[in-house]
Amino acid sequence: MKINILFILKNKSKTNSKQKCSIACRITLNKKRKEFATGQFINPKNWNPKQQLVKPSEPDEKLINTQLSLIKTKINRAFLMLQVKEESFTVEDIYLQYKGEKTQKEQGTLEAFKRYLESLKKLIGIDIQRATWIKFDYSYKHVKDFIKHKYKRNDYPLNKLKLQFLADFEYYLKTEKGLGQATINKMIQRFRKPVRIAVAEGYLDKDPFMLYKAKRTKNNIVFLSPEELKKLEKHEFSQSRLKFVQALFIFCCYTGLPYRELMDLKQRHIIVGFDGNKWIKMDRKKTSKLLSIPLLPRALKILEHYNQDGYVFPRITNQKYNSYLKEIGAITGIDKKFTTHMARRTFASTVLLYNDVPLEIVSELLGHSSIKITQDSYGKVVEKRISMEINRLKDCN
């Protein structure tokens, strides 16, 4: 970044009563100019534009040259002070710094993101869960690290964002952070939120990322087949902790409850429905959508065993739950990565879709915010089910 300072005569053809014209100063930065009057006047004939000096023939030659030199020194000092701050600035900011006035600071990308985070934080417990805010904060930290890594600065001007910024950010997350495409897509999705708000608030004329398209990812849904689920149900564990986690996992295979709702399940959430059967009725934390799940016989049998007052099941951390599930997978010999979420996927696939339950009902039972999420996640499962039925018809013929 280079600054250019030039003194020029203004209105040489229109001198004042003393046949003198004013000297102006022109600052140029990144092809942008700022001109202002120096308060000095000379006879146009006594100006040396090449040397940027007043000729000795001018009566106040030494005083005027000293003043011009002082102005140039102060401008250079203002330029250096703005550079030290490691923040974006304009030629107008240099002039304001020179005058000792507050600079017209450009809105920064991180500044806009931080402001959005602060407003989002106030909605925790009202419209969003704390986990949602943490995910946005996580994205903010990665954007901050990227700007420091790529541009060697503490922020990046919001109005200079281009589509290439996202391409470079994506490359950085892959190569420097080792993140997968699905995680990167989510991170960029969250980063775009404060950018859109900046457009709405007038900080940006248009969305610089309007033409961005997230790269598609292969969404492999891992679930237990009917045979594997039966194998797990029949296995007798000797350790009580594994018996307990086995029960929790099987219960989720027949209800589709996520871990958080499983731990939050209370007696008041289990009601007798309009059909005389028992249902789970509770809000899903992630989407704030009401879960209405009919209790199948296998789930009811587990409930009878763990029928505690208050919370239905004893408390267990997600970390321990997943750790014990790995042991269960190894002991049963089922060669799949057991996780808390696998049970939910087994409910959607093996228990529902493999038994001809329509996709829109699966979406409702899972508490998805839209059927598109269900289609994106379980479309392949539906295709597999169709293929199985077609093959069955072929065998019959």
DSSP 123-165: TBTTTB-HHHHHHHHHHHHHHHHHHHHHHSSS--BGGG--HHH
DSSP 71-91: HHHHHHHHHHHHHHTTS---H
**pLDDT tens digits, the chain, 397 residues: what are they?**
789 999 999 877 766 667 889 999 999 998 889 999 999 999 999 999 999 999 999 989 999 999 999 999 999 999 999 888 777 788 888 998 898 876 656 678 999 999 999 999 999 888 888 888 999 999 999 999 999 999 888 888 888 899 999 999 999 999 999 998 989 999 999 999 999 998 988 778 899 999 999 888 766 778 898 999 999 999 999 999 999 999 999 999 999 999 999 999 999 999 998 899 999 999 887 777 788 999 999 999 999 888 777 899 999 999 999 999 999 999 999 999 898 889 988 998 888 888 878 878 888 888 777 777 676 666 666 666 666 666 666 666 5
Q: What is the pTM of this model?
A: 0.57
3-class SS at 273?
coil
Q: What Rg do the C-alpha atoms of the chain give, in angstroms?
A: 34
Kindly state the greatest CA–CA separation across the chain. Answer: 114
What secondary structure letter does DSSP report for 264? H
What count of Cα atoms within 13 Å lies in the side-chain half-sphere of residue 284?
17
CA dihedral 223, 228, 232, 235 (to 10 degrees): -160
Write out the two tokens for 288: 């704030």
* H/E element, 391: helix 371-396
Contact between residue 349 and residue 381 where contact means Cβ atoms under 8 Å apart? yes
**C-alpha closest to that of 19 among 65, 58, 76:** 58
Give the C-alpha separation, 274 to 8, whole Å.
88
Give the C-alpha separation, 389 to 353, whole Å.
12
Give the C-alpha separation, 298 to 271, whole Å.
17
For tokens 């799940």, name the residue: 293
Write out the two tokens for 321: 């739950």
Give the C-alpha separation, 374 to 347, whole Å.
13
| Residue partners of 95: CB distance under 8 A and separation at least 6 | 27, 34, 36, 78
Give the C-alpha separation, 159 to 203, whole Å.
8
C-alpha distance from residue 354 to each of 99, 167, 227, 388 (Å): 75, 40, 12, 10
Contact between residue 295 and residue 277 where contact means Cβ atoms under 8 Å apart? yes
First to last CA, the chain: 78
**C-alpha closest to that of 383 among 360, 353, 361:** 353
| Residue partners of 26: CB distance under 8 A and separation at least 6 | 5, 6, 7, 8, 33, 34, 35
3-class SS at 365?
helix
pLDDT of amino acid 103: 61
> How many Å separate Cα 233 from the centre of its chain?
40
